[in-house]
Structure 1
Amino acid sequence: MDKAHSGDDVVLSLDEVFALSKSVLVAAGLTEAQAAPLARVLTEGQRDECHSHGLFRLPGCVQTIHHPRFNRDAVPDVTDTTAAVTRVDAQFGFSLPALEAAMPRFVEKARAIGISVLAINNCFHITALWPEIERLTAQGLVAIAMTPSHSWVAPAGGTKGALGTNPIAFGWPREGQEPYVFDFATSAIARGDISLHKMAGKPLKEGWAFDADGNPTTSAAAALEGAMLTFGGHKGSALSTMIELLAGPLIADMTSLESMDFDDGLKAAPCHGEILIAFDPAILGGGSRDNQASSERLFSAIADQGARLPSTRRYAARARSLANGVHVPRHLYEQIMALPRAG
């Protein structure tokens, strides 16, 4: 595979990123139906220069596929629970095939009654949430998604992991413009970004992590063996706990503590549940006020004073990647090329 090189990077087209990702996932044992949605979201992460959620995740996907409790032949089981609620059992496969299986009913219910809730159970989750949110905003829906992870994060006032990185994502559709979307971990830094700091030999900021003995540390390696902190002190800790409850016990799935126990030290992707909520503004905002005009006034009030709306950086990166391809660090490219690939 003779690819263009730029400094220490290898330049790939988006089609090449997708094909490479899917080939590695299929060679690891996934069916085409499981591999394709995961490869697509990894490609989207690389496209938007969210490096900790792009090809960087592919070796971890392979490691997860080899987890003894991962089901390579999983076929998601979708259940209509109520007029507003849909459940899908991922059968201990990845979350994205389960989401795809349930998406038509999930969207249909939001359009029918104004709100729809999707509970995904028994899923290994390894990707960002914003691609899921953007699929819903593309349908004109307002959306929220959240999920626990492994108990790598200490609560405010503690030093030992009890919470997950626990990301939450939100999206608001905008007419004729990219949607307003945010997606962030409730930890002070995403777990994948700590790994990137370790690979680059970069220190962490103070207040991000503890080492295994409960001492504050700026060492990425020590942080990976210790515990991370939430952002915003007690506020981030409370928000993280809310996500644990909504995406865990509420939908009869595992907390981050239980996910860590389930992993049994094998360091695969977290296995737990995910909850998504979709709202139809055409129904909920069907009164006398123009919900688009109100929201655009708010966005303008933010942007016109020089403040950045979430996802602005990603959208600019997306435009660059669509025009010029993506830059992959050579060491990561060589690591991936050393993995088995389907013919």
Structure 2
Amino acid sequence: MARLALTEVKALAEQVLEKYGFTKEQAVAVARTMVCGERDECTSHGVYRLLVCVSTLKAGKVNPAAVPVVHDHAPGIVRVDAKGGFSQLAFEKGLVALKQKACTNGLAAMVVNHCVHFSALWVEIEAITEMGLVALACNPSHAWVAPAGGKGPVFGTNPIAFGWPRTGQDPFVFDMATSAIARGDIELHRRAGNPVPLGWGVSPSGKPTTSAQEILDGAMLTFGGHKGSALAAMIELLAGPLIGDLTSAESLEHDAGSQSSPYHGELILAFDPRRFLGEHYEHYMKSAENLFDNIEGQGARLPSARRYEARKRSLQHGVEINDVLLDELRAL
């Protein structure tokens, strides 16, 4: 393992992206997300994704010079056309309008269309909670996941993320795939030649397996059986047909076997608790803190607590990156 400062990780990511033709603005936005992944020890969404970005570019499945266009779609909706670029810059471009609409109406939606997507949603959720807003986001991906009771891919990993702002403390955030595990984690196991736990997926014949490669060739599974399957279907609808974009199956069809990052849309909701609560804001925000105290008071941890602990370590000591991966990235 090699140890790098976060500034070095940022520089490496930006250099690779710009080397392959991404504009400075695109490279900075995409690299920022990867640095967050490494910083919080979520390595499946860290600089390993540079390999995927370059592969997606070579396959002609992402626009490296995309300039997102922001549309004031409705009083409570901002729509951002990513123009075939990665999702990060499109999200950043629509963020100011999302905040303005949420503060005016109490609730607002950002719709991101025509984006290529690989990133964790908690990065975006935290950007919204920093504004004092409550946030919810979801998106489809490629059809990699079988529905409960089935064995063929229908859903994507279909993550859903939520954030609640807290004064003087890290926000309450969860970001979870509706699949049993993120696809990137299975890929990292495959690269390392390690088996995966039963329940992550099935082989092409539909049989349970601990082989990462067999799952990648077969189908992943949802978490919680029919419960995760129902949530995955909901996300397909909310962040697919409802916003005028592709389902996971349609994204995979668009991929045409290139094994590139998914191409679809994303739905982000922002709620302004001050607008909802008015003069009762302080009372009910304290009520939320009582809830968190009751959770932690039993020795349980809040979601993202491990990420926040990792963040403190990384900011002080840097991060460790596998030598083999680092050599691959430096070769790029």
Q: Structures share a fold, TM > 0.5? A: yes
CA 1:35–1:237 in structure 2 vs 1: closer, same or farther (change >3 Å)?
Answer: same
User: Aligned partners of 1:234 and 1:152: how far apart in 2?
Assistant: 16
Match of 1:106 among 81, 98, 104: 98
1:50 has 2:50 as partner: no
8 Å CA contact 1:77, 1:89 repeated in 2: yes
8 Å CA contact 1:31, 1:73 repeated in 2: yes
Match of 2:177 among 161, 185, 194: 185
User: How many Å apart are 1:70 and its aligned residue?
Assistant: 2.1
User: Aligned partners of 1:222 and 1:208: how far apart in 2?
Assistant: 11
User: How many Å apart are 1:200 and its aligned residue?
Assistant: 2.5
Q: Secondary structure in 2 aligned to 1:215?
A: coil
- State percent identity of aligned pairs: 53
User: Aligned partners of 2:114 and 2:153: how far apart in 1?
Assistant: 22
8 Å CA contact 1:148, 1:256 repeated in 2: yes
Structure 2 residue identity aligned to 1:59: L
Match of 1:31 among 9, 23, 31: 23
8 Å CA contact 2:140, 2:266 repeated in 1: yes
User: How many Å apart are 1:287 and its aligned residue?
Assistant: 5.0
User: How many Å apart are 1:66 and its aligned residue?
Assistant: 2.0
8 Å CA contact 2:61, 2:260 repeated in 1: no
User: Aligned partners of 1:291 and 1:61: how far apart in 2?
Assistant: 43
TM-score by length of 2: 0.98
Partner deviation per Cα, 1:282-306 (whole Å, 9 max, x = no partner): 1112253612111000001100101
User: Aligned partners of 1:218 and 1:100: how far apart in 2?
Assistant: 39
8 Å CA contact 2:14, 2:27 repeated in 1: yes
Structure 1 residue identity aligned to 2:44: S
8 Å CA contact 1:166, 1:243 repeated in 2: yes
User: Aligned partners of 2:280 and 2:326: how far apart in 1?
Assistant: 54
User: Aligned partners of 1:274 and 1:166: how far apart in 2?
Assistant: 10
> Residues 141-180 of structure 1: matches in 2 within 5 Å?
141-180=133-172
Question: Residue in 2 aligned with 1:238?
Answer: 230
1:292 has 2:290 as partner: no
Question: Residue in 1 aligned with 2:294?
Answer: 301
User: How many Å apart are 1:50 and its aligned residue?
Assistant: 0.2
Partner deviation per Cα, 1:76-113 (whole Å, 9 max, x = no partner): 11100111101011010111111111111111111111
Question: Residue in 1 aligned with 2:265?
Answer: 273
User: Aligned partners of 1:137 and 1:295: how far apart in 2?
Assistant: 15
User: How many Å apart are 1:203 and its aligned residue?
Assistant: 1.7
> Residues 321-332 of structure 1: matches in 2 within 5 Å?
321-332=314-325
User: Aligned partners of 2:98 and 2:210: how far apart in 1?
Assistant: 43
> Which structure 2 residue ranges, 5 or more long, are not aligned?
none
Q: Secondary structure in 2 aligned to 1:29?
A: coil
8 Å CA contact 1:33, 1:97 repeated in 2: yes
Question: Residue in 1 aligned with 2:72?
Answer: 80
Q: Secondary structure in 1 aligned to 2:280?
A: coil
Q: Secondary structure in 1 aligned to 2:254?
A: helix
User: Aligned partners of 1:210 and 1:54: how far apart in 2?
Assistant: 26
Partner deviation per Cα, 1:7-30 (whole Å, 9 max, x = no partner): xx1111111100100010011110
Partner deviation per Cα, 1:44-92 (whole Å, 9 max, x = no partner): 1000000100011111011112232422221111100111101011010
Match of 1:317 among 310, 313, 320: 310
Question: Residue in 2 aligned with 1:208?
Answer: 200
> Which structure 1 residue ranges, 5 or more long, are not aligned?
1-8
User: Aligned partners of 1:277 and 1:291: how far apart in 2?
Assistant: 20
RMSD across aligned C-alpha pairs, in angstroms?
0.9
Partner deviation per Cα, 1:130-158 (whole Å, 9 max, x = no partner): 01000000000000010100000000000
8 Å CA contact 1:10, 1:327 repeated in 2: yes
Structure 1 residue identity aligned to 2:313: R
User: Aligned partners of 1:146 and 1:287: how far apart in 2?
Assistant: 31
User: How many Å apart are 1:274 and its aligned residue?
Assistant: 0.3
1:252 has 2:244 as partner: yes
User: Aligned partners of 1:202 and 1:305: how far apart in 2?
Assistant: 35
8 Å CA contact 1:281, 1:291 repeated in 2: no
